[in-house]
A = this chain, B = another copy of it.
Amino acid sequence: MMVPLEVSARHVHLSQEVADALFGKDYKFNIKKELSQPGQYACYERIDIVGPKDTLKNVSVLGPLRTKTQAEISITDSLKIGINCPIRESGDLEGTPGCILRGPRGEYEITSGLIVAKRHIHMHTNDALKIGAKNGILASVKIKSYERSLIYNDVVIRVSDNFSLAMHIDTDEANALNYQPKLAGELML
C-alpha cells in the first residue's frame, strides 16, 4: 500500500483554558486551511513558544480546541529553545516538559505538553481492515527520494473512522529525506 507523505511543521493544539489566556475569553479562531485529517484545520492565529534559550515565533495554531494543550516541535527546535523534548505519540504527554506559550493577549506556562511527534500513519478503519493492520502497531515504510532514499522503521499506525490515509513526518525528517511534494512511501507490515 502506498501512503502519501505529509510534513508537519511545528504547531500547537490548545485547550479552552490556554486559548482564553492567550487570545482572550472565548476567542473565535479563523480557519486558514483544512488539513488532510477530517475536521482538523490550521488557523490564521499564531503564538510564540518561549524557552530558556530562545523563542520559536509565529507557531501555527491548529483547531479545533482539545482537552489538553500540546506543542509539537522538531529536535532542531528543541535544541534552539533549550528544552530537551522526548519523542512521543500525540496525546501521550505524561512526564513531558512544559514551556511558556505567548499569545497576543497574554502568556500561559504549561507544565507539560511539549513533544517531538513520533512519525505515524493516519489510517481509516476500512484501509486497516483491508491490509490487516491494527491500531498502534509499528510498521516500516520505504521511500524513494533523490539521493536520500531510506526505510523508516518505528512508524506507528493509528486507525480511526475519522482518519484519512497519510503519513506524517516532522521537518527534521523531511529535510533528512530531501522531501519533495507528492512523495509517497510503501508501507511494509
A5 to B147, CA, bound (A): 19
| Of B151, B154, B175, the contact of A75 (CB 8 Å cutoff) | B175
Closest chain-B Cβ to A72's Cβ sits at a distance in Å of 14
| Of B76, B146, B176, the contact of A177 (CB 8 Å cutoff) | B176
Total A residues in contact with B, Cβ cutoff 8 Å: 24
- Residues of chain B within 8 A (CB-CB) of A175 are 74-76, 79, 172, 176
- Residues of chain B within 8 A (CB-CB) of A176 are 75, 170, 172-173, 175-177
- Residues of chain B within 8 A (CB-CB) of A137 are none
- Residues of chain B within 8 A (CB-CB) of A170 are 176
A118 within 8 A of B: yes
A87 within 8 A of B: yes
Closest chain-B Cβ to A6's Cβ sits at a distance in Å of 15
Contact status of A153 and B154, CB under 8 A, knowing A75-B178, A176-B176, A176-B177 = no
Top 4 nearest A-B pairs (CB, nearest first) are A176-B176, A75-B175, A172-B175, A87-B147
- Extra pairs beyond A76-B175, A87-B147, A151-B153 (18, CB < 8 Å): A74-B175, A75-B176, A75-B178, A76-B76, A76-B172, A79-B175, A87-B146, A87-B178, A119-B148, A150-B150, A150-B153, A150-B154, A151-B151, A170-B176, A172-B172, A172-B175, A172-B176, A175-B176
